[in-house]
Amino acid sequence: MKVSGLTPLISVFDMPASVAFYRDIIGFEVVQQSRSGDHFDWALLRMGKASLMLNTCYEAHERPAEPDAARWAGHGDTTLYFDCLELDEAYEYLRSKGVAVKKPVVRDYGMKQLSMSDPDGYGLCFQHPVRTD
């Protein structure tokens, strides 16, 4: 068996807000969506070799005014990791866009990481290996 990639699918509450975040701030391109226009329920996003699918967790006519806290509680336990070499520049860029992001840190296991959350509470970590010796 040979795998050539991985594309996670995450459930989002507000598709336009999620697309705006991943496309306009992070830099992904929407390469496919379930229907044309600004209001759709599924999208495939890509940036370089990284892919991500977004899917609304509610049909438009069933969507409550606010997310269900119990349903969203587990999002904090999910983190998407991205390979990214320019973490200091990414930190400054994200802060300039108003994103609540923590300064990059070097972990004792040899990764320099920049951490934040997306609009639905999923963790995002941009990272690259560093020498710790």
- How many CB atoms are located within 10 Å of the residue 10 CB? 17
Q: Whole-model pTM?
A: 0.90
Average pLDDT, the chain: 91
Q: What is the largest CA-CA distance in the chain?
A: 56
DSSP letter (8 states) at residue 89: H
Residue 110 has pLDDT above 70, yes or no: yes
Q: What is the model's pLDDT at position 132?
A: 66
DSSP string, 26-67: I--EEEEESSSSS--SEEEEEETTEEEEEEESS-GGG--SS-
Asked if the structure places residue 117 within a domain, the reply is yes
- Within this chain, do residues 90 and 53 fall inside the same structural domain, yes or no? no
Residue 64 has pLDDT above 80, yes or no: no
84: CATH = 3.10.180.10
Name the nearest CA neighbour of 71 among 2, 131, 13, 129: 13
- Within this chain, do residues 56 and 101 fall inside the same structural domain, yes or no? no
Residue 131 has pLDDT above 90, yes or no: no
Asked if the structure places residue 70 within a domain, the reply is no
For residue 17 the two structure tokens come to 């807000």
Last residue of a domain, one of 61, 88, 105: 61
Asked if the structure places residue 111 within a domain, the reply is yes
Q: What is the model's pLDDT at position 27?
A: 96
Q: What is the model's pLDDT at position 68?
A: 77
> pLDDT of 11-52, one tens digit each?
999 999 999 999 999 999 999 999 998 889 999 999 999 999
Q: Are strands 123-129 and 111-117 parallel, antiparallel or unpaired?
A: antiparallel
- Within this chain, do residues 45 and 82 fall inside the same structural domain, yes or no? no
Range of the domain at 128: 76-133
> pLDDT of 29-39, one tens digit each?
999 999 998 88
CA distances from 45 to 22, 42, 51, 129 (A): 8, 10, 6, 25
Q: Give the total number of structural domains in the chain.
A: 2
- Within this chain, do residues 39 and 87 fall inside the same structural domain, yes or no? no
- 56 close to 63: Cβ distance less than 8 angstroms: yes
